[in-house]
Structure 1
């Protein structure tokens, strides 16, 4: 999986610098990486097409609603 980003860009383009926020972001990245790896490997081992599974995971992320929008 991809490495954690060197910087987490804020809404204004400047990097997030708060240590606690960076800690949470790093923990979330590590957890998500492991969950996605497990789901991907399980699907492939159960016979799901690898390209299709990559698309399914990508579509899942693309469909996440923004917590900033009221139409959640």
Structure 2
């Protein structure tokens, strides 16, 4: 159950060896650019339990690990 007006982000996390997590190409275009780099779950898992990540709010760890710079607009 949720309350309040904050945005909530959910990701499915599962450990399947050598699986890359990425946005489907059909969902990415000029108006909807890719926001996160493709990554393997184990890399994110190891990051989430690393010393640097201990100081990052769990809701911001994915952003810290996999975010891409914003696209340059003309």
Q: TM-score, normalised by structure 1?
A: 0.31
User: Based on CA coordinates, which of the two structures has the bigger radius of gyration?
Assistant: 1
Q: Pick 1 or 2: higher relative contact order, CA cutoff 8 A, min separation 6.
A: 2
- 1 or 2, which has the higher helix percentage? 1
